[in-house]
């Protein structure tokens, strides 16, 4: 194995000896870097390339057939680019010409694509996701459109986290909010302890009141947009209502 540090973010990346000398994207910051050649590769470069070509060839369209004399292979697992290779290279290791990701070429016409790969949902509209440039269906893992090659907008990780917490806290607040569980989900320890103790120490007398409050809060959470929820409850730390 070859270990090296990304010059952009300093992350330690580990690749196999066979991938030495190839270009790839850093999994941490996405910067294009060239992997250092291993001693084995340096002494026998021709041998290290025997397992596959240095680069696959792009296809202009993911739905159109491959060029004459070439075979369509699975899309790049990293960036989703539609690729093709000569038939003799099927089964060998190839490098995506766009992102540099190295993987084994599998023939699509022989059922080579991984059945669990969620990019297969392109034919079903990909859950309603379409390229804003050409309108082609794209999957949630596609960073570029498989048809026109345009970069696809990526969801902000902070908003994704806000959506997850909003849903969990909202549902818990409506169902069992009298115990303050939704407060703990949002990291509001003091309000959560207050609601829990009031419900327990009063032998349940105060639970209906706490539950009514939590239902109002749960509905408020769920009706907020991800942006508003992130701004009000995750950044602003608003503990009540």
Q: What are phi and psi of 83, to 5 degrees?
A: -130, 165
Q: What are phi and psi of 97, to 5 degrees?
A: -70, -15
Q: Provide the pLDDT for residue 110.
A: 57
Q: Provide the pLDDT for residue 65.
A: 76
In a domain, 171, yes or no: yes
In a domain, 240, yes or no: no
**Is 113 in the same domain as 163?**
no
**Is 199 in the same domain as 171?**
yes
Note the pTM of the prediction, 2 decimals. 0.43
**Is 200 in the same domain as 148?**
no
**Is 73 in the same domain as 150?**
yes
Q: Provide the pLDDT for residue 119.
A: 47
Q: Provide the pLDDT for residue 71.
A: 85
Q: What average pLDDT score do residues 91-109 get?
A: 80
**Is 45 in the same domain as 73?**
no
**Is 89 in the same domain as 142?**
yes
Contact (CB, 8 A) for 169 and 234: no
Q: Provide the pLDDT for residue 93.
A: 82
In a domain, 124, yes or no: yes
124 band by pLDDT with thresholds 50, 70 and 90: very low
Of the residues 19, 34, 50, the one at which a domain ends: 50
Q: What does the pLDDT look like over 208-240, one tens digit per residue?
A: 999 999 999 999 999 998 889 999 999 999 988
15: CATH = 2.20.28
Least confident of 15-29, 35-49, 80-94, 136-150: 35-49
In a domain, 127, yes or no: yes
Number of domains within the chain? 3
- pLDDT at residue 199 above 80? yes
**Is 146 in the same domain as 65?**
yes
Q: Choose between 119 and 100: higher pLDDT.
A: 100
Question: What domain range is 145 assigned to?
Answer: 56-154
Q: Provide the pLDDT for residue 179.
A: 93
DSSP structure string for 69-136: TEEEEPPPTTT---EEEEGGGTTSEEE-TTT--EEE--BGGGT-S-TT-GGGGGGGTGGG-B-TTT--
Q: Choose between 204 and 35: higher pLDDT.
A: 204
174 band by pLDDT with thresholds 50, 70 and 90: very high
Q: What average pLDDT score do residues 10-25 get?
A: 69
In a domain, 241, yes or no: no
Top-ranked range on mean pLDDT: pick from 36-40, 89-93, 145-149, 213-217: 213-217
Query: Cα 15 vs. chain centroid, distance in angstroms?
Result: 21
69 band by pLDDT with thresholds 50, 70 and 90: confident
């Amino acid at each position: 194995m070859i270990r090296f540090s990304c010059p952009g973010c300093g992350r330690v990346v580990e690749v196999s000896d066979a991938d030495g000398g190839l270009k790839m994207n850093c999994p941490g910051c996405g910067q294009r870097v060239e992997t250092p050649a291993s001693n084995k590769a340096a002494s026998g470069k021709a041998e290290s390339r025997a397992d596959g070509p240095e680069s696959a060839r792009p296809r202009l369209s993911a739905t159109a057939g491959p060029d004459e004399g070439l075979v369509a292979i699975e899309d790049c697992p990293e960036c989703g680019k539609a690729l093709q290779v000569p038939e003799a290279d099927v089964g060998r290791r190839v490098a995506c010409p766009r992102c540099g990701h190295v993987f084994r070429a599998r023939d699509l016409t022989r059922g080579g694509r991984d059945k669990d790969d969620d990019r297969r949902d392109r034919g079903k509209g990909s859950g309603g996701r379409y390229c804003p440039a050409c309108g082609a269906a794209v999957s949630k893992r596609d960073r570029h459109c498989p048809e026109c090659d345009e970069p696809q907008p990526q969801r902000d990780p902070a908003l994704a986290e806000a959506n997850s917490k909003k849903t969990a806290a909202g549902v818990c607040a409506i169902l069992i909010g009298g115990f303050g569980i939704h407060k703990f989900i949002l990291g509001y320890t003091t309000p959560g302890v207050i609601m829990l103790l009031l419900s327990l120490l009063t032998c349940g007398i105060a639970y209906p009141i706490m539950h009514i409050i939590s239902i109002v809060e749960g509905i408020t959470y769920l009706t907020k947009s991800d942006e508003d929820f992130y701004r009000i409850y995750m950044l602003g730390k608003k503990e009540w209502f």
